[in-house]
Amino acid sequence: VEVPAYAKLNLTFEVSGRRDDGFHQITTIMQTIGLADLLHFEPSADLKVKCEYPELAGEQNLVWNAAVELGKAGGIEPAAKITIEKHIPVAMGLGGGSSDAAAALLGLNVLWGLGLSVEELAGIAAGLGSDVSFFLWGGTALAQGRGEQITSLSPLPPLAVTLVFPDLAIPNKTAAMYSKLTMGQFSDGGVTRQMIRILTSGQFVRESV
Instruction: Return the ∠ at Cα 169 (arms to 128 and 160), rounded to 5°.
Output: 75
List Cα–Cα distances, 55 to 5, 38, 59, 141, 203, in angstroms: 19, 17, 10, 31, 43
CA–CA distance, 51 with 57 (Å, rounded to integer): 5
Asked if 186 contacts 17 with a C-beta cutoff of 8 angstroms, the reply is yes
Q: Is 81 a catalytic residue?
A: no
Asked if 40 contacts 2 with a C-beta cutoff of 8 angstroms, the reply is yes
Q: Is 188 a catalytic residue?
A: no
The HSE-up count of residue 188 (CA atoms within 13 Å, CB side) is 2
**Active-site residue identified among 20, 21, 48, 131:** 131
Q: Name, in order, each residue with C-beta under 8 angstroms of 125's C-beta and a sequence gap of 6 or more.
A: 66, 101, 102, 105, 132, 133, 135, 136, 148
Q: Name, in order, each residue with C-beta under 8 angstroms of 23's C-beta and a sequence gap of 6 or more.
A: 130, 146
CA–CA distance, 208 with 166 (Å, rounded to integer): 33
Q: Name, in order, each residue with C-beta under 8 angstroms of 92's C-beta and a sequence gap of 6 or more.
A: 165
What are the residue numbers of the active site? 8, 131
